A and B are shown apart, each in its own frame.
Chain A
Amino acid sequence: MTANQQSNEVTVKHRHRPEGPEKHILVFIFSIILTAIAFAAVMAGGVNATFAVILLLVMAVLQVFVQMGYWMHLKDKGHLMPILFMIGGFFVASTAIVMALFWVWW
């Protein structure tokens, strides 16, 4: 009985409507704006170095977040393990960066 139901479920044709490009074009425009802010701040010159570092990092991290969320589908269902892999990777990477920034020229 249950086996029968399962096999029925497998053969049901899911009529998906493929998602449109709108979201992805919005992500693209958002990325362009963030990139433009970063370039404009530096090219205008005369920005405080600490402020520039924070601004550049925030722009980069925001852009990476939306691109990984929408373009690499990390925001979709069933992506727990990929998210954990990426968090693990970024954790080790940031450990190396903190080490290099604060210990190498101590």
Chain B
Amino acid sequence: MTSHAEHVNGELPHEPEKATLEGRNKVLGFWLFLGGEAVLFGTLFATFLALRNQNNEGPTAGELFSLPITAVATLILLVSSLTSVFAIQAMHRHNVKSLINWLIVTVGLGLAFLGLEIYEFYEYIVHESFDMKTSAFSSAFYTLVGFHGAHVAFGVVWIGILIGQLYRKGLNVVTAPKVYVSAMYWHFIDVVWVFIFSVVYLLGKVA
């Protein structure tokens, strides 16, 4: 019996995340989860679209949103998606040092995005009197965008823990699927953000 964490030759295969049945099943199962996430965000988008003009005499989307901040947040998240691609490519080259470095950059960009979002929400609540209870629009806005922000926060913690695990245990066929799946999650967060900046912020400025 070969040890579970080692390849038959003692050498890591090219795509270590797909080397074991467990790894392949993890990736497949994660896709099923992402399908469920698409449904979750779809229903939150549906609620937001139904309620986006019900501002209850509070601020409207057109008055509230500042597109430069949204543009910066978009750029940060897009770059972080690219850096997690680089992390996976480093993993495929079996370069653990480079993998960890790219993951650290990804987590750092995620934290920058979160900081910007917290600043944005703080401005709305404190200076614009736009909180969760202001209107149906505000509730739908905070639920949708806040849920996405919570996903970013979860991803930051998750990838942060994986960085620690890579330090301690290195790259093997057990840790590789975890890193791969966390990168999929991170790309999915960016995909959801593409719809958020289009539907919530840009469309809010148009109509």
Chain A interface residues (CB < 8 Å from chain B): 10-11, 13-14, 16, 18-19, 21, 24-25, 28, 31-32, 35, 38-39, 42-43, 47, 49, 52-53, 56-57, 59-60, 63-64, 67-68, 71-72, 81-82, 85-86, 88-90, 92-94, 96-97, 99-101, 104-105
The residue of chain B having its C-beta at the shortest distance from the C-beta of A104 within the complex is B50
Contact B194 A64 (CB under 8 A): yes
CA distance A14 to B15 in the complex (A): 11
**Is there contact, CB below 8 Å, between B14 and A16?**
yes
Identify which of A14, A93, A101 contacts B50 (C-beta below 8 A): A101
Residues of A within 8 A of B150 (CB): none
Q: Quick check: A85 and B199 within 8 Å, CB to CB? A: no
State in angstroms the CA–CA spacing of A53 and B47 once bound together.
18
Query: For chain B, which range describes its interface: under 10, 10 to 19, 20 to 34, or 35 or more residues?
Result: 35 or more
Chain B binding surface SS class: helix
Q: Determine which of A42, A89, A101 lies in contact with B39 in the assembled complex, contact meaning CB atoms within 8 Å.
A: A89
**With A and B bound together, what is the CA distance between A76 and B5 in angstroms?**
26
Within the assembled complex, what's the spacing in Å between the Cα atoms of A13 and B157? 36
Assembly CA distance A86 to B34 (angstroms): 7
Given contacts A24-B85, A67-B81, A89-B39, 20 further A-B contacts (CB under 8 A): A13-B9, A14-B13, A16-B14, A21-B89, A24-B82, A35-B74, A39-B74, A39-B202, A43-B67, A52-B206, A53-B207, A57-B198, A64-B195, A72-B188, A86-B38, A92-B42, A93-B42, A96-B42, A97-B45, A97-B46
Contact A97 B42 (CB under 8 A): yes
